[in-house]
Each structure stands twice: as structure tokens, then as C-alpha cells.
Amino acid sequence: MRRTRSFSLGAAALMILTAGLGGAAVAADSTHTPGSDPVAEPALLEALQRDLGLTEEQAVDRLANEAEAMATDEAAQEAAGDAYAGSWIDAETGTLVVAVTTAGAERAVESTGAATERVTHSQDALDTALAALDELTAPAGVSSWYADVQDNAIAVEVVAGSENTAEVTAFLAEAEAVQSLPLTVRTVEEAYTTSAAGVVGGDPYYTGNVRCSIGFSVHGGFITAGHCGSGSAAVYGWDRSLMGNFAGRSWPGGDHAWVRTGHGWWTVPVVLGWGTVSDALVRGSNEAPTGASICRSGSTTGWRCGTIGAKNVTVNYGNGNIVYGMTNSTACAEGGDSGGSFISGDQAQGVTSGAAGNCSTGGSSVFYPINPILSAYGLTLHTA
């Protein structure tokens, strides 16, 4: 498990379903839109109860609060304008909190129904600081870095035991030199590794000697993780029949790809429950705020749930493989889950990139957000 502890360096301191997985159950109700009462899919309720320790009533209430927060977040960001500094769901109240840098923005945001918190640094300032760090060369002991919107600072995650090595110390000193925002160093037990796996049998798709998981259906195919394939490699389904080929791919830098399908495979707007929970419908891709519950589906560990952590996370997978713009979560994942679906309520969130730890003793994961993937390839999500 990636338990963390923090220490400050001072005031100026550092910081799928393809088509074709036949037999998926599709619920009859497809009238839900964000902002209305959420559709409480059995898959989500069961997994939230198991992984977050909730009762059924608490899971239903949580989904309702998060659907409302997603509907409010876009309007709140627009109201905040240049004073926007991030947003999250308060764990105690379930309400959306928007960080802003001015009193005028506070009033504007509160008129949308969101709560506010005054901070010093805007989202633009945080993004500028992250961009400066992204220009640096990170050693293996530095796992990731991101803007912690609740702390209004930059966080750098360092693998335990490497905090005082010459390479990590030099990186942190250089990080401090390239930007002046507060920077917090957090130690984590393990670094992220990509979640692909060799062929070990079971669903969902294969390319070469690698098994990965399908993310979400798009018109013409499906999206998945970029590190799972190469070039225009052929892709084979769970039954080893030809599905199609990689049609676009980003790795490293990004970690996403799309596969153009044919050969009798078709797309459906469903995320599989792998026999553990009911399959879930996909009705859109509205981005959920930090703190929202999220579940993921993969061919190794099935349904696992957690909460959304930091966004715009830069992850160092080692050997020069650095990926920008990801989101971390407390949902566990293991080898073979790469490329699989992350969903919040009935809204697609992204595809699995990597994980630390495992689903037996505890772990965490990172995913690449879905909307930038759709935009990169000009794709349209298949929705119910």
C-alpha cells in the first residue's frame, strides 16, 4: 500500500469494452443525465460497499452527492475564472469545494452552489510549477509529482529509503531552484509500475506476448493503455480471434491508445463486472472531482473501488519512461489490468496505466483521463 508521510523543505521549499465481449447485460434505463438522480448500478453499489466499507444507503447517497458535484463543477470553474485553483469533494460532507484566490471569485462560485476555500496560488500558477518540474530528469527514486489542490502546493513522491540518496537530493534541490511555490516531499513505500502482464490466460485482449484490458468502447473500436502495444500491432480477443490493430498510440509522455476493431467484433457501452458484480452502463465522460468515489474494471482483479486523488500527476516509471497528466486513486490494480476502465457513477473517467502494491495487501493506481484521449484521436465514446 502506498501509505505516505510528508516533510517540508522549508518556506521556499520544494513539492472496454470492445465490442465483442459478447453477453454483457445492459440495463433498460438509459435516461439518466448528470445532475439527475444517479442510476445506482448494482456493480457500483456492491463494489463501493466492499472496497470503501459503506452500507448500501451510504453508497447510494455518495453516488447522488457525486453526481451533483460533477454537474456543478464545470459551472463553478467557469465562475471562478482565472482565480480557480482546483476543486474536490469534502470527505465529511460530500459537498464540492472550489479553491479560489479572490473574494470576487468566492461570491461567484458560491452562487453555483459550491463551497469555497481561499488560497494563494491559482491553478495556472500550479500548472506552471509542474511544467518546470516536467523539464527535469527524474531519478528512479522519484515516483511522481503533482499539484495537491487541497494543500495548494506541489507534492513530490519519493520511494522510501531513497530520500537521502545523492540522485534524489540533487533532483529535489533542482526542483526547488526552478520554481518558488511551496513544495512538499512525501515518501511512499513503492513506486508505480505499469500494469501489463505476460499471457496468463483469461479475458480480455492480447498483443504479442502481452495481456492487457480493454478500457471503453468508442465508435470504431476501443481505447486502452499505450504501453500495451506498439506500432500497428495486431490485437486478439479473449478467444484469441483477431479483433483489429492499434490505430493510434502515445507512450511514454502519454499512456493511451486506441484499437480499430472489425472481424465480427462490435462495441457496446458497458463495463464488465467479471461475474463478481453486475455490468455497468456508460452514459458519458464528465470528469469527477478529487475525492469522488471511482471503480475500475480489469482482466486480472475485476472490480475494485477507491477514491480519486490528485490530478495532472507526472509519473516516473523509470528507464526514461515518464508520463504526464495522469490521475491517481486509492483503487488497487495488478499486472494485466493495464488499459482497463475507470468509471465514476455512470461516467467514464480513464484507462488504467500503472499501480503500486496489490489487491491482497493494499495498493493504489494511476489512470490516464479519458477526455484527452478522445480528443487526441478524434474519437466518440459509445454511450447508452
pLDDT, tens only, 236-255: 988 888 999 999 999 999 99
Closest CA to 114 of 72, 154, 60, 77: 72
Residue 135, classified by CB atoms within 10 Å of its CB into exposed (0-12), middle (13-18) or buried (19+), is exposed
**Which of 87, 293, 338, 364 does the annotation list as catalytic?**
338
**Which of 73, 148, 255, 337 does the annotation list as catalytic?**
255
Predicted confidence at residue 313, as pLDDT, reads 98
The Cα-based distances of 158 to 10, 67, 167, 306 in angstroms read 17, 34, 11, 22
Backbone region of residue 50 per phi and psi (left: phi > 0; alpha: psi in -120 to 50; beta: other values): alpha
Predicted confidence at residue 197, as pLDDT, reads 61
Predicted confidence at residue 331, as pLDDT, reads 97
**Residue 26 cell numbers, joined:** 445492459
As a whole number of angstroms, the distance between CA 147 and CA 150 comes to 9
Please confirm, yes or no, whether 338 is among the known catalytic residues: yes
Please confirm, yes or no, whether 213 is among the known catalytic residues: no
Coil, strand or helix at 5: strand
| DSSP-derived secondary structure for 189-226 | SS--EE--EE--SSSSEEETTEEE---EEETTEEEE-G
Please confirm, yes or no, whether 255 is among the known catalytic residues: yes
Contact yes or no for 83/101 (Cβ under 8 A): yes
pLDDT tens digits, 359-379 = 999 999 999 999 999 999 999
Packing angle of the helix pair 103-110, 56-80 (nearest 10 deg):
130
Give buried/exposed letters for 137-163 (b at 16+ CB in 10 A, else e).
ebbebbbbbbbbbbbbbbbbbbbeebe
**Residue whose entry in the numeric block shows the C-alpha cell 507526472:** 314
Predicted confidence at residue 96, as pLDDT, reads 96
Coil, strand or helix at 31: coil
Predicted confidence at residue 111, as pLDDT, reads 96
**Residue whose entry in the numeric block shows the C-alpha cell 475525492:** 291
**Which of 32, 227, 256, 382 does the annotation list as catalytic?**
227
Predicted confidence at residue 204, as pLDDT, reads 80
Which segments of the chain have a pLDDT < 50? 1-38, 198-202
- Helix boundaries (H) for the chain: 42-52, 56-80, 103-110, 123-134, 166-178, 370-377
